[in-house]
């Protein structure tokens, strides 16, 4: 195991990335879900559905439990270039950004659709 592997497994580094992520993720989510390069919430939902993730999206918009999405699935939908650009913009490792976004996106979409449907302005 190399020194970079050891650093990557360091609890202190993971804790720091977690804190950084929790401070930056709301901004990143607003960029992804806002009217930024991804086209807003409706566009993200459409991309996820087109990628075969309709069941997950329905669970987020609906009133039941949110189904998970993986970092890899999200990265495929958003595009690797977009994820890399966001990671660079906010100075977060790409893998960490994708992982945290995958954890936070279901709750963000759920929160944006409290009545079980997307808002018309999304």
Alpha carbon distance 49, 20 (integer Å):
30
Contact between 71 and 98 (Cβ < 8 Å): yes
**Residues 9-35 pLDDT 10s:** 445 444 544 555 555 666 677 766 665
Q: How high is the mean pLDDT of the chain? A: 75
Contact between 93 and 87 (Cβ < 8 Å): yes
**Residues 61-86 pLDDT 10s:** 888 899 999 999 989 988 888 888 88
What the chain holds in terms of domains, given with CATH numbers, is: 3-112 (1.10.10.690)
pTM for this predicted structure: 0.70
Q: How confident is the model at residue 5 (pLDDT cuts 50, 70, 90)?
A: very low
């Amino acid at each position: 195991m190399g020194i970079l592997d050891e650093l990557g497994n360091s609890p202190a580094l993971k804790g720091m990335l977690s804190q950084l992520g929790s401070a930056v993720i709301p901004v990143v989510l607003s960029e992804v879900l806002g009217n930024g390069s991804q086209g807003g919430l409706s566009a993200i939902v459409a991309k996820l559905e087109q990628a075969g993730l309709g069941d997950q999206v329905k669970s987020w918009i609906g009133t039941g439990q949110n189904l998970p999405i993986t970092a890899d699935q999200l990265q495929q939908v958003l595009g690797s270039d977009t994820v890399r650009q966001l990671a660079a913009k906010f100075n977060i490792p790409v893998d960490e950004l994708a992982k945290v976004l995958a954890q936070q996106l279901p709750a963000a979409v759920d929160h944006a659709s409290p009545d079980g449907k997307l808002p018309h302005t999304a």
